[in-house]
Amino acid sequence: MHILIAPDSFKESLSATKVAEAIKKGFSKVYPQAGYDLIPLGDGGEGTVKSLMQALSLDGTQTWVTGPFGDKIKVSYAVKDDLAVFEMAEIVGLASIPHERRSPLFIKTQGVGELIVELVQNGVKRIFIGVGGSASHDGGIGMAAGLGVKFYNRAGKEVEAIGAHIGEIVSFSTEDMLVDLSQVRIDLVTDVENPLCGPAGATFVFAGQKGLASAEFELVDKKMESFYKLVNPMLLDLAGAGAGGGMAAGPMSLS
């Protein structure tokens, strides 16, 4: 008998690798003579890079980007030739944020954009981004800010790119973009089909588990909707755009 074990991670508990090892340990007690293949999987969240490293023979490396609270953090990603893979969760992962500091509207995702900039400047032409397991809820504006996009309120003042301010934005500028993405393909890796807004959208389905109070859902959802009516209304109903606190819509709005 040969047994294939291919699990995903258990959120905030075990990595996909440790889940696979635990399952093998249990099966081995009943089927000690069986052969086992362990292939940990990723759904866009934790473990995605490790899974793709094995499948695509990528090399792991590290760099520094802005973390969820504005300080510099070291993050890992995988690369080979002009292909790179990284996880949003590596930069703003929910599992890395203490419960008392979970406030998704104030988590900074600038580091996601910074990493994209570094990869493109290093010659990468195709990027896979796992957008699961994030602690943020900003509709992708933090990522865009990391790329050099600037956002402005009605008074013409620049707005900090965090979810708490998305409802203040009335205009934006891409004039100071740090890299040209026109020749770069960005593939978003996710296992959800939730749209940006509405009852099945990013706010109502995922923001609560990140620390947002349910009493805020309706207002936050309306602010997200208002912003994307400004940016690209077609993205509001796009399946999967709500992944990563709406970050999945970010690269598409810049394409």
Res 9 pLDDT > 90: no
pLDDT band at 43 (very low <50, low <70, confident <90, very high): low
pLDDT band at 45 (very low <50, low <70, confident <90, very high): low
pLDDT band at 180 (very low <50, low <70, confident <90, very high): very high
Res 14 pLDDT > 70: yes
pLDDT tens for each residue of 118-141: 999 999 999 999 998 899 999 999
pLDDT band at 11 (very low <50, low <70, confident <90, very high): low
Residue 5 is predicted with a pLDDT of 87
Task: Count CA atoms closer than 13 A to 230's CA, side-chain side.
Answer: 19
Maximum pairwise Cα distance, the chain: 72
Q: What proportion of the chain, given as a percentage, has pLDDT over 90?
A: 73
Place of tokens 């203490």: 98
Structure tokens at 15: 């990595």
Worst-scoring range by mean pLDDT, 11-25, 72-86, 146-160?
A: 11-25
Task: Count CA atoms closer than 13 A to 216's CA, side-chain side.
Answer: 18
CATH class of 42-254: alpha beta
The 10 Å Cβ neighbour count of residue 211 is 19
Query: Quick one: which of 9, 14, 12 has its CA closest to 102?
Result: 12
Structural domain boundaries of the chain? 1-41, 42-254
